[in-house]
Amino acid sequence: MHEFGIIQGVFKLVEEAAVKNNLKAITKVTLKIGKLRQVFPDFLQFAFETVSKGTVAQDAKLVIVEVPIKMKCRTCQQEFAVERNAYICPKCNNVGLDVLSGKEIYIESIEGEPKDAD
């Protein structure tokens, strides 16, 4: 289950953001993940809940935004969204394609509560 590895990497950045921005609690993390990453959102949620226990992000909400797969045909330059795993150009039926989106994985935003000023 590579979802735990993904979340561990994300969580390291979340903790760094909390320290850098003087946050007492992380309330929400929005994660963008391309469909080509073949991750299961439920597994990501479980991994996030498990890794965040007892930390600054313990009660944080994880929002997962799936990025669709978009391709570009090398022959006719047609750009299209892949549907039903059909990796073939709908215009010229070529299979020589370049990936435009769907492989990404990044933190879109981190929200939290600031520490009280002393």
- Convert the pLDDT of each residue in 37-77 to its tens digit: 989 999 999 999 999 999 999 999 999 999 999 999 999 99
Residue 115, pLDDT score: 85
Q: 42: which residues sit within 8 A by CB, 6+ positions away?
A: none
Task: Using the Cα atoms of residue 98, residue 66, residue 12 and residue 47 in order, give the sign of their dihedral.
Answer: negative
The Cα 100–Cα 83 span in angstroms is 14
The DSSP secondary structure of 8-44, one letter per residue, reads HHHHHHHHHHHHHTTEEEEEEEEEEEEGGG---HHHH
Residue 2, pLDDT score: 80
How many domains does one find in the chain? 1
Any domain includes 105: yes
Any domain includes 22: yes
| Cβ atoms within 10 Å, residue 113 | 12
Any domain includes 11: yes
Q: What pTM was estimated for this model as a whole?
A: 0.82
Any domain includes 20: yes
User: What is the phi/psi pair of residue 7, to 5°?
Assistant: -65, -35
Q: For strand 61-67 and strand 23-34, is the pairing parallel, antiparallel, or unpaired?
A: parallel
Q: 21: which residues sit within 8 A by CB, 6+ positions away?
A: 112, 114
**In one letter, which amino acid is 46?**
F
Q: What is the CATH number of the domain that holds 25?
A: 3.30.2320.50
Any domain includes 54: yes
Query: Where in the sequence is the domain holding 12, given as residue range(s)?
Result: 3-68+101-114
Residue 117, pLDDT score: 64
